[in-house]
Amino acid sequence: MKNIIILYILVSSLISAQSLKLGFRLEPSIILTEDYNESGLQFTPYGLAITSIYSPLKDFELEVRGGYFLGGEDFTGFEYGAFINYRLFNGDFLLSAGLLNHLNSASGHNTSVSYAKDLLFTGLGLKYLVDSKLSVDMMYFWASDKVYGYSWITDHSGFSRIIDKRINGLLKIGISLAFNIIKN
């Protein structure tokens, strides 16, 4: 009997906390790169995604995103990811962690080429719930495979060589507008 009561309490709390939201995201970003052995920053305001957020528990969210990221001619492509958000101190801030896969498109011109390849990023950040529909988050992503292309350079002596273009990380600011589809 004791097990049935515990099971009832557990199931009823799970059911009462469930919700599902669908929405859109805008993700302006800073891309941290390395080219010609020098670090660089590139800002892009062009990241758009569709998001779905499932809350099986009061303080816990599972989020799935898919969209398109336009980070200049060398770092552009579709992205999809899965994230876990955990509410901190019963407040409006959530800790976010997840994986993001960027499907880079191949491009090239004169002395620069980017590869068509998947780049897997691991991310960690903080999310703020402005209200029941609007949220803002900041996440830092680091890549498992940093090489996304190469540059062909010629030095003052006339010798040519190829130098890898690397992505050291992404800093994304996400602005989400998501609407309740299912709410208990």
Q: Which two tokens stand for residue 88?
A: 């901190």
Residue-averaged pLDDT of the chain:
84
Under a CB-based contact definition with an 8 Å cutoff, are residues 53 and 178 in contact?
Answer: yes
Q: Which of 33, 56, 48 is nearest to 170 (CA)?
A: 33
Better-predicted residue by pLDDT, 153 or 125:
125
User: Is the whole-model pTM more than 0.85?
Assistant: no
Instruction: Say what the pLDDT of residue 35 is.
Output: 73
- What's the per-residue H, E or C state across the chain? CHHHHHHHHHHHHHHHHCEEEEEEEECCEEEEEEECCEEEEEEECCEEEEEEEEEEECCEEEEEEEEEEECCCCCEEEEEEEEEEEECCCCCEEEEEEEEEEEECCEEECCEEECCEEEEEEEEEEEEECCCCEEEEEEEEEECCCEEEEEEEECCCCCEEEEEEEEEEEEEEEEEEEEEEEEC
Provide the pLDDT confidence category of residue 57 given band limits of 50, 70 and 90: confident
Q: What percent of the chain has pLDDT over 70?
A: 84
pLDDT above 70 (res 11): no
